[in-house]
Structure 1
C-alpha cells in the first residue's frame, strides 16, 4: 500500500507521527524498507510527549534509539502537563495534531498509522454521538488541511495484520497501558464491544469498514450536489443568504447550513447543533440577535444573512493613550494601527493639554456631523450597516473624555472646536481575519 502511495505522489518527503507503538513502528519500518529500494525519499519522525505517565522518558529513549539506528531525524515536542489534566481525549487529539501540523514542512506529507480497528472505533464513537452519514464516514484515507496533506495508508489493514508483519520482522514496540483504561470511550469500545461482535461475527470489522466506505461515497455525492446548489446563497463576503429559507423545507435548509459550515474548514457540528442553528437563526423573530458558539468561532445572523466569525475578544474596558502622535499606535486583537497621513479622515486637532485616547465602547445618544438630532449610538451602527460583533472592534477616538469619532465610520458633532485639523488613517485587518466586513 505504501509503495503504491509513493508511486502516485509527486512529493517524496514524509513526516511520520511516531509514538513507538505498534502502528507507527510498522509504518516507520515499512518506509525504511522502501527507502532501501527508493533512496530518494526523505523520512522524518515526530514524537508528541503528553507528559501523562512516568514512562514518558523511557518511551522517548526508545524512539530516539530506533530513529538513530536508521538515521531518521526525530523531533520531540512536549505538551504542558498542567494544560492536559482536564483535557478530553478529543481535545488532546486536536492539540497533538496542531503541534504536528505546525512542524510539517510545506513539501512533506504526514503519514499516520491508523488502521481498520481505529476506523471502526471512530465509527462507534460517531454512533454514540448520534452522527449522520458525514460523521459515520469516520477517517478518510487522505485529508487535505490548508496546503498540507495527511495520509493514513493502513486504514484497510486490521491491527492483527500489522501485528503479524511486526512479529515476522522481530520489531520491538511500546505498549501504552493507558490504552487498557476503559474509562475512556475509545478504549471501552476497543476492549468491551468490538471483541464481542467479532466473536459472534468474525467478519464484523471488514463489514463495518465497508459501511464506512459507503457512507463516505454517499457523503461525497451529497456534498457535491449541495455545493452546486449552495453557490446561489453564498454572498461575496462568504455569508449565507437566508432570506428565502423560511420557504424551503427544513431538511433542505439544514443541509445547506451544514454544507456552508463545512466550507469554513472546522470540525463539523453535530446534527443537534445544526437543528439549534436552524431554529435560532432561521425561525427566530426578525429583531433577534442570535449567536451560536462553536469552540472559538461563532455563527451570527445579521440582515437576513448568516456570518461565520472567529469570536473576538471583549475590548469594552480597553483604553489606549496615544502620547506619541507622530508614531503609529498599534491596536489590540490584530486590528491594525492608527497613523497620521494625508489619506486619513480629517478631524479637529487636539489641543496640547488634551490626552488623545482610544476606546472600544460607548453607550448613549450622540449627534453626528450632518444630523440635527441626537440618536442612540446603537441606531447609528445599524444605519451604517455595522454588525453587532464588529461594533466593539472599531476604535473610538477621544480627547480627554470628549468623544470625537468612530474612526472610519462617523464624526461626532460636539461643542469642541479647533480650526486646525489632522488626518488619521486606520489601517485595519478586519477585512482579512474572518470577519470579512468592508468599511466605506
Structure 2
C-alpha cells in the first residue's frame, strides 16, 4: 500500500508543494497518516501536515481530536484542528452541510501546488454513484471520483481509490493501529449509511462484481462529460468576459441543451456547486430573462447567480467587510479580508492615469470598503458626486461596490482602486497595486 501512495504522490507532487492530509481519524485517514509518515521518513525536505475538522456533532468529538493530536505528535507531523459550526436548520441536509463546512475548512490550508490527501476507497465509488443516481444526476454526477482534481490553489488526491476497505482494515490491524469509530456511521437515517448498511450488501450478494461494473459505467459517464466539455470549450471562452461574466445575448442563440451545459461549465469554472435541473431552469428564466430594469438573483448552495447588464455573474457567499480597515504603509503589502487579495502603496513605476500625489505628513493612508455617505470628484470629471452614483456611472455591479478598496488620505477619499483618483489627490508620485489572486 505504501508503494501505491508513493507512486501517486510522485505523480502529482511539485517541488514547491506540501502534502496536506485530511485526518478525521477514521480507519481510512488513520491508515493514510501512517503511510504518509513512512513516506516522509524516506523523503527529506518534503513538508507534511494534517488537518482535523471538529464538527462538534458527537459527544466524542473532543476525544477524536485529542487522539489525532497524539498520533500526529508521535509521527512528527504538524496537526491543525479546525472547529466549524453547522447550520442545523430544518430542511438542511446534515451530511451535505458537514461536507461543505469540512471542505471550506480544509481549503484554508491548501496553498499553491499543495496536495490534499483524502481517504476515499473503491467502495466509496459505488456509494457516490448510487447517491448521484438517487438525485437524478447527469453524466457529471454519475462520473467516477477522479484520482486527482483541482482544489483551492492546489489539488485533491485520493490515493486509496483502487484499494478495498477490507485491505485498509487489514493493514491497520497488521500495523497495530487504533482509529476513531464514529457512532453515526451506524445511523441509517443518513443516506450514505443506509446504502452502506442496507443496500450495497444485498447488491453485492446478488452481483459480486457490481463495484467493477459501476466503476466502468462511471468512467463512461466521465468520458462522455469530457467530450461534451471539449466540444463546448471554445464557445465558453468566447462567451465569458474578462471579469468572469457570461454573455446572455450569446447564450440566447444556443439550443436549450447546449445552453444548460454551458451554464454548468461556467458555474464549474467559478468553483460553484452544481445547481439542480430546476435551479438551472430558474437561472435562465428568472435571472437571465428578467425585465431590463430588474435586479434579479438566484440563490444556490455555494453562492448566488446575478445579472448585470447583458451578463450573468456568480457571486460567492462572503462575509460583510464594511467594518474592516487598515493603514497602508509605503511599499508594504497589506492582506485584504475575505479572499480579496492584497494591496500596496508604492512609488510609481508604470505609466498609469491612476497615480497619486505623495501623502502629506498629516495624512495617514488607509484602506477600507465602506462607500456609504462618501462623495468623490474624479480627476476626469467636472464636479463631485455621491460615490453611490459614481459606481453606477462607472458600471460597477452592485455586489462589488462594497468589495472594491477605497483609499483614504486622512479623512478624505483619495481613490477608488482600479476606478478613479480624486482631483485633489492626483499626482505623479505613487500608485496602488491590487493583487487579486
Structure-2-length-normalised TM-score = 0.71
Contact 2:272–2:302 (Cα < 8 Å) also in 1:
no
Contact 2:21–2:33 (Cα < 8 Å) also in 1:
yes
Which residue of the other structure, out of 116, 121, 129, is the alignment partner of 2:122? 116
Which residue of the other structure, out of 379, 382, 395, is the alignment partner of 1:385? 395
After TM superposition, give the deviation of residue 343 of structure 1 in Å: 6.5
> Given the alignment of the two structures, is residue 72 of structure 1 paired with residue 105 of structure 2, yes or no?
no
Judging changes above 3 Å, is the alpha-carbon distance between structure 1 residues 385 and 165 closer, same or farther for their aligned structure 2 residues? Answer: closer
After TM superposition, give the deviation of residue 226 of structure 1 in Å: 1.7
Query: For residues 144 and 377 of structure 1, what CA distance do their matches in structure 2 show?
Result: 39
After TM superposition, give the deviation of residue 304 of structure 1 in Å: 1.6
Aligned-partner SS, 2:239: coil
> Given the alignment of the two structures, is residue 6 of structure 1 paired with residue 16 of structure 2, yes or no?
no
Judging changes above 3 Å, is the alpha-carbon distance between structure 1 residues 53 and 105 closer, same or farther for their aligned structure 2 residues? Answer: same
Superposed counterparts of 1:59-98, under 5 Å: 59-67=64-72, 71-80=74-83, 83-84=85-86, 86=88, 88-98=94-104
Contact 1:46–1:100 (Cα < 8 Å) also in 2:
no
Judging changes above 3 Å, is the alpha-carbon distance between structure 1 residues 291 and 84 closer, same or farther for their aligned structure 2 residues? Answer: closer
What residue is the counterpart of 1:298 in the other structure?
304
Which residue of the other structure, out of 147, 151, 157, is the alignment partner of 1:151? 157
Query: For residues 296 and 139 of structure 1, what CA distance do their matches in structure 2 show?
Result: 20
What residue is the counterpart of 1:260 in the other structure?
266
What residue is the counterpart of 1:142 in the other structure?
148
Contact 1:25–1:173 (Cα < 8 Å) also in 2:
yes
**Structure 2: gaps of 5 or more residues:** 326-333, 358-368, 374-379
Contact 1:315–1:361 (Cα < 8 Å) also in 2:
no
What residue is the counterpart of 2:25 in the other structure?
20
Superposed counterparts of 1:126-141, under 5 Å: 126-141=132-147
Judging changes above 3 Å, is the alpha-carbon distance between structure 1 residues 275 and 65 closer, same or farther for their aligned structure 2 residues? Answer: same
After TM superposition, give the deviation of residue 145 of structure 1 in Å: 1.8
Which residue of the other structure, out of 57, 62, 87, is the alignment partner of 1:52? 57
Superposed counterparts of 1:168-183, under 5 Å: 168-183=174-189
Residues 121-153 of structure 1, C-alpha deviations (whole Å, 9 max, x = no match) = 222222233322112225221122244222112
Query: For residues 194 and 168 of structure 1, what CA distance do their matches in structure 2 show?
Result: 27
> Given the alignment of the two structures, is residue 103 of structure 1 paired with residue 109 of structure 2, yes or no?
yes
After TM superposition, give the deviation of residue 393 of structure 1 in Å: 6.1
Aligned-partner SS, 2:242: coil
After TM superposition, give the deviation of residue 78 of structure 1 in Å: 3.7
CA RMSD of aligned residues (A): 5.0
After TM superposition, give the deviation of residue 220 of structure 1 in Å: 1.9
What residue is the counterpart of 1:227 in the other structure?
233
Query: For residues 107 and 386 of structure 1, what CA distance do their matches in structure 2 show?
Result: 33
After TM superposition, give the deviation of residue 114 of structure 1 in Å: 0.8
Judging changes above 3 Å, is the alpha-carbon distance between structure 1 residues 396 and 17 closer, same or farther for their aligned structure 2 residues? Answer: closer
Contact 2:37–2:77 (Cα < 8 Å) also in 1:
no
Contact 1:43–1:73 (Cα < 8 Å) also in 2:
no
How many pairs does the alignment contain? 406
Aligned-partner SS, 2:249: coil
User: Between Structure 1 and Structure 2, whose CA radius of gyration is higher?
Assistant: 1
